[in-house]
Amino acid sequence: MAKTLRIRLAAIATCLWLVLGLTGRPAPASLDTFVGARSIVKNQPLSSCNNKARDALIAVLGRAAEYGDTGNWAGYGAIDASGNSFAAAAVHCYPLDEVQGYVVTFTCAAQSPPATESASIICGKLAAAFGGQS
Amino acid sequence: MIPLLRRGALAALALASAFVWCSSNAPASVDISAGIRHVSPDGTLADCSAKAKQSLDAFLEGAAESTPGSGDWIANSRNGIAGTPTATAVVRCYPLPKGYFATFTCVVQLPDNPYTATALCLDVAHTFYGGAITALAAIPTPTPLPTGCATTNLVGTWVSDSDSKLTFTMTVDGDVTDSEGVSGNWGLKGNTVTFTYYGNHTMTLSADGKHLSGGGYSLTRKC
């Protein structure tokens, strides 16, 4: 009786694992890149763009870094247990003397699956986070 | 008899589980490079766009303006092993009162792509404004799905040698369906075939890949 029960439990466990394996098998990942918004901001210093770029990247993706002192920023999304990230974005700031301001651009990427948001959605959130700052 | 059937069923499940486990893909990750910017003291937006298209097409395919007249250019690599592009580069041009500036952003999917985003961006940027070019490794060719006429696998249709009305369709996923709709599984290791169909059968694939025999069955490949 006990042996029969063990066999049944083993069969159920194996079936469950098999189903999970089949349904959880990852589909081929696809690289999604989006050319996001470009905005001209008047009467603001370049430092304002840099601060907003950093804060927007951190708010949306979690991390941000500037390439030296260039106004070129990049950020990565959350990292999984294996050290992989599946979302990234770039924000470029450049001063415009003629308007005493700057131009800023957003470019985003996502690898889906497993990324849950597309590159266009990430860029939309970045632009909103950037523009929403005072 | 019943315990034997249970053991057979368990063995079949274990085999299928191993197949599922072994076929899982390793996750990839996104690699981005966005640190290169070029300022030209002369030239127009059209000049920048022409260079952007030329430099992108030198390493990628199908460079196109994301919105006509925007000066924002994007191009992708050809399809990689998963059948989709594994590298993308973006060159964004902006006109200045004198000249223009361009930013370079590259994204690749690792480990599927054979070079990094930084390597791609350096080559695209150096083609744009001049500089050393480092050869990029070729994108791996997409793995073609096996076809029924490839004798290195079992995918395709097989006919029973003892009953020509009995056929088996074997798919790339390891599924088997006979001509009456009864399903099972197949697995191939070397020339040894595990055929799960009304129980488990061990069969042997002939050297020419056209015949299967053993376990009470004898089948011939129908291409």
pLDDT at B189: 76
CB B173 within 8 Å of CB B146: no
A108 vs chain B: nearest CA distance in angstroms? 9
Task: Reduce the secondary structure of B46-75 to three states and give it as a string.
Answer: HHHHHHHHHHHHCCCEEEEECCCCCCEEEE
Inter-chain residue contact B13 with A18, CB threshold 8 Å? yes
pLDDT at B28: 72
Residues B152 and B119 in one domain: no
The confidence band for A16, taking pLDDT boundaries of 50, 70 and 90, is very low
* B103 falls within a domain: yes
Domain with B176 in it: 145-222
pLDDT at A112: 86
Within 10 angstroms of residue B119's Cβ, the number of other Cβ atoms is 21
For residues B69-101, one letter each, b for 16 or more C-beta atoms within 10 angstroms of the residue's C-beta and e for the rest, the string is: eebbbbbbbeebebebbbbbbbbbbbebeeebb
Residue recorded with tokens 């594994």: B86
Mean pLDDT by 10 residues, chain B (223 residues): 52 42 56 98 97 98 96 95 91 97 97 96 98 95 64 84 93 86 86 88 89 92 80
CATH code of B67's domain: 3.30.310.80
pLDDT at B20: 38
Looking at the 3D structure of chain B, how many domains does it have? Answer: 2
Closest CA to B98 of B185, B50, B40: B40
Which of B9, B20, B34 lies closest to A22 in CB terms?
A: B20
CATH code of B173's domain: 2.40.128.290
* B90 falls within a domain: yes
For residues A112-125, one letter each, b for 16 or more C-beta atoms within 10 angstroms of the residue's C-beta and e for the rest, the string is: beebebbbebbbbb
The confidence band for A82, taking pLDDT boundaries of 50, 70 and 90, is confident
Say if B22 is an interface residue toward chain A (CB within 8 Å): no
The confidence band for A55, taking pLDDT boundaries of 50, 70 and 90, is very high
| DSSP single-letter state for residue B79 | B
pLDDT at B114: 96
pLDDT at A24: 39
Question: Which of A21-35, A119-133, B209-223 has the weakest average pLDDT?
Answer: A21-35
Residues B38 and B88 in one domain: yes
pLDDT at A97: 95
